[in-house]
Amino acid sequence: MRIRILVLTLVFVVVAACSSHAGDGPHVFAVGEKIGYQLHAAGLYMGNQTTVLESVDRLDGRDVYIIRGYTKSSRFMNMFYRVDDKWLVFVDRHELVPLRLEKNMWEGKRKAFLIYHIDQQGKRVVFENITSGSSKEKEAEHLVFDLFTLVYYYRQYPERFDDVFTFEFLEERSLKTIQFKNEGKVMIKVIPISNRKKIPAYKLMQVGGIGIEIYVSTDELRIPLKIVTPARLKKGRTLNVEMNLDKYKPGEGQGDIPELYRDLTF
């Protein structure tokens, strides 16, 4: 009888534990993962961007990943338009959607500290400019993402992009409804990795709009290899700004990584 009670107790504990962690299965990324990019436009080196999945914490009673990022322009670019942005994103570990974004920006002559409070369930975002003391609220029709949390979301749920995936893109002062679709496998060049040899990637393409392109690796890590963002210029012209993967460090417990990334050390 005692053995039966012990077995039933253990079963209950296991079931309860599984229920409490529902939706928190293993992710393709892990704490400590660090990804670096070179920025190019018209063949010129423009700067660097780095993202780090820094730690796990709690925010308003939820388990969150903390992702820290830096974008810094090159010395050459600084003569024309300086960029020195630092940002911190709190991402729900279960749903993999952003809940809060903090951005300390320096772009050109403009400096500001911005905080975005994202209520995904309530479908609203509060835009708070700490520097100016202003704030406003916007309603959202869909899930809200910035570009990089969208990539983390895709890395875990690529099948959700097989059809058109619609979301609200977080801009500096507003939200914009955007759609992306996985257009399948293509062969691309990633400048820091190889100028000659092409490597396979899945192409995520913005449907309509300015035509942002995200190319992610075809291996199990699904790392963004290249991101192309057209910048609108005067007289209807555009300039493609490319982010090319040039550094990678795996997170804790990610094990043996594909050969492609082994020489891309920080």
- Which phi and psi (to 5°) does residue 10 adopt? -65, -40
Q: How far separated are the first and last CA of the chain, in Å rounded?
A: 59
pLDDT of 197: 86
- CA–CA dist 247, 261 (Å, integer): 8
DSSP code per residue over 36-62: EEEEEETTEEEEEEEEEEEEEEEETTE
Strand partners, 103: 87, 114
The single residue listed with the structure tokens 């609200």 is 168
pLDDT in tens, the chain (266 residues): 444 433 333 333 333 333 333 334 479 999 999 999 999 998 899 999 999 999 999 999 999 999 999 999 999 999 999 999 999 999 999 999 999 999 999 999 999 999 999 999 999 999 999 999 999 999 999 999 999 899 999 999 999 999 999 999 999 999 999 999 999 999 999 987 877 789 999 999 999 888 999 999 999 999 999 999 988 777 778 889 999 999 999 999 887 889 889 889 88
Hey, how many other C-beta atoms are within 10 angstroms of the C-beta on 160?
12
The ranges assigned to domains in the chain are 28-251
Q: Which of 29, 75, 12, 72 is nearest to 250 (CA)?
A: 29
pLDDT of residue 236: 75
pLDDT score of 237: 80
Instruction: Output the six-digit token pair for 61.
Output: 């009673």
The pTM is what?
0.86
* CATH class as words, domain 28-251: mainly beta
Residues 6 or more apart in contact with residue 221 via CB below 8 angstroms: 28, 29, 155, 254, 257, 258, 261
96 CB neighbour count, 10 Å cutoff: 21
* pLDDT for the residue numbered 9: 32
